[in-house]
Structure 1
Amino acid sequence: MKLQIISIILACMVQMKCNAMESYNGLGTIFQEYSSLDCTKYANDDEVYKSFPFELDFNSTRRDSSNTYAVKNANEDIIVLNINKQEYVPPAVFCLTDLQELHVHKTKFHTFDLGLSIGIERLASTLKYLTISDTPIHYLPEQIGRLIYLKTLDLSNTGLTILPKSIGKLSSLTYLNLCDNKLRSLPSTIINTRSLQTLVLDNNAGLQSIQPLNGHSSLKFLQADNCQIERIPLNLPQLINLYMSNNSLTDLPNIHTLGNKTNKKKLFFFDNNSIRCLSPHIRQVNNLSFLNLNCNKLYILPLDIYEISTLQTLYIQNNDFGDKDLQEMVARFNRTHPKLKLCYGSKISC
């Protein structure tokens, strides 16, 4: 009986070793592909994609990120490549001569350190849109700063923990999505992304500060819901929409420095924080139209808020107002803002 058990254990160990060797050999082959990548052996993009271990759909009439497809230009060069749910990103992708959009979903970069670094070097002169989503990368190589023509960078749900300082060299970047990651801070160099208009930081549970954004000259839309941010950013002259729901805010100092150089309507979301008081500076916000203060710890509103003539919608549900104070505030708003959509009390919806 003991001999049978020992035989079974030995057989399992041999099989495990074989499986491990197969996995190692496979990974080693891919590593060699990246490190010895020779694009000169491909005469054109047609030969490049024929080397891929998966098929490409060139006939799709609409762009669906759930498919693996490509788009060609008039010269038969692949300019858009969307890879979804494949085993890994083939190194030959980086040999495409005029690739402008690369979208990778649920597909690994084996030997990531080497693979993406080499890819960035090769695509620096053409790439304008880069998406890596639902794919583990944890960090970006410093070479990302060489993508000087990049307009959109989407790195959602990648496990990203840190941004390289070279992010500030992306002079053409207008849209940056970093949601659903593990960021704890932003690099000081992000202030140098002078073309950036939209930044998405939602669901970075360890992110406590976005102060490196202070003074950003072009940012218009900032989404930072469901983090642990303790202070609002300052001196964002072009800001229009600010989403900071479910954070750790306790007050809103110098809020008037947000969007102070643009006359466009402002929409600010500060619900589900711990805000106890509202700064009188709220009156100085340029063209404030929408303000959500639901689910905070407010017990009084400053008189200045009744002087905001542009205010169209105000949410103040589930705060610490006394019943009498709340009735007085509602009555006053009815006099000063008869058309205001005012949501108050404990109702879930308004």
Structure 2
Amino acid sequence: MTLFWPDPAALEADLLTLAALESPSGDAAAIGQVMAVLEGWARELGGETQTLSGGTRRFAFGVDGQASPLLILAHADTVWPQGTLAQMPLRKDAERLYGPGVYDMKAGLVGGFHALRALGGEWPAGGVVLLVTPDEEVGSPSSRGHIEAEAHAARAALVPEPPVGEGSAEHAHALKTGRKGVIDAAVTLTGRAAHAGNEPERGSSAVAAAAELIGRIEAVARPELGTTVLVTQIAGGTASNVVPAECRLTLDVRVSQAGEDERVLRELAALTPADSRVQADWHLSVNRPPFPRNAETLALFAQAQAAAQELGFTLTETSVGGGSDGNFTAPLCPTLDGLGAPGDGAHAAHEHIRLDLWTERVALLTALLRRL
């Protein structure tokens, strides 16, 4: 097999094109500008472009219906609001390129197109579908159905999201073979207000009820199963001399194993305050299911390991707590995540990619497309 190494200057130029287009979640016009650039790149490769409901774009390359295609899954939205570039402009040093959205995940988008271009029209059996969503950073409400439909039809999914950040010693050569599922959870407690000085006995404190409830909420966790339940925000009360009638708790809930999401939802919904005068209104939903580290995904990782060895480097694999759209594909087809550019600072002011390591990731993605 002929080994492909991308042109670093061409990669950087295309990334600067995308990164100069701010694309915050929820801004359809801004995201549409990014999608228009991608549509142009897809046309250059002879791809078929389809706009799906909610603004997701489906790019098909050599898909003939004779075999199951490979799926590349990416997103065009970022967490950064319009105007961020004015305070946080794109810049580079010898090894890194900094800027909003470069790491999560515009470098992954660029790398995906360069890998497809490297195939020179020699598509793998069944072809390749590149699905680019507009709302990953807000939970993929409009795109989840499209993602799952493509995963049902695909023989494998490759996700060029960022790998583990530079804070980890394994960041440069680790792929993600598992992710925790995410549950959106919050509870609003409603009691009764009263004058805290004159007649506190006539009130029922929602804040006091919340304080008692927090321990029982966090006891739903099962660390031995990888399930974490943490109360991360609390808001309540109106003034120092008023018995607080309302308090809201927001939780961070993550699960590693299938079925744990159902248990957690059931047990949280059953929790009520010890003070019967205070009512609890739970708001619970599964944001993303667990991405299981299973035999099928590990077999796909073995293919990536072999490809990396041919390219001259060693890959490792890891499971992480954060979710991605790969959580939707992993229960339906073998999935490898973390194929994007190494770097650090997702959603942070120091967001950047490692230019010196990015070419390896694009070469790896290209080799995988040729092997699978």
- Higher gyration radius (CA): 1
Q: Which has the higher contact order (CA 8 A, sep 6+)?
A: 2
Which has a greater percent of strand?
2
TM-score interval, smaller chain? under 0.3
Q: Normalised by the size of structure 1, how large is the TM-score?
A: 0.24
